[in-house]
Amino acid sequence: MKKPIFMLMAAGALTFASCDSNTENRTEETGERLEEGTDEIGDDVEEGADEVGDNIEEGADEVEEEVDR
């Protein structure tokens, strides 16, 4: 008789232990939002670096054309 009662108590404890708390859910949501924000910032930085690189390359081409004249 003790074994079935113990099994029911263990199953109940596992059920409650597997529930996410509000704090845990908010923490995960905050982490996801931060990750999305940093990804956007990283994309912006990469685009800016590409633009600067293109401008440097254009400047170098102009200098090369002047030297060739």
Whole-model pTM: value is: 0.53
Average pLDDT over residues 5-23: 68
Distance separating alpha carbons of residues 32 and 37, to the nearest angstrom: 9
Percent of the residues in the chain that have a pLDDT greater than 90, as a whole number: 49
Distance separating alpha carbons of residues 6 and 13, to the nearest angstrom: 11
pLDDT digits (tens, 9 = 90+) for 34-66: 999 999 999 999 999 999 999 999 999 999 988
Measured CA to CA in angstroms, residue 47 lies from 28, 39, 52, 56, 58 at distances of 29, 12, 9, 14, 17
Task: Give residue 69's pLDDT band: very low, low, confident or very high (50, 70, 90).
Answer: confident
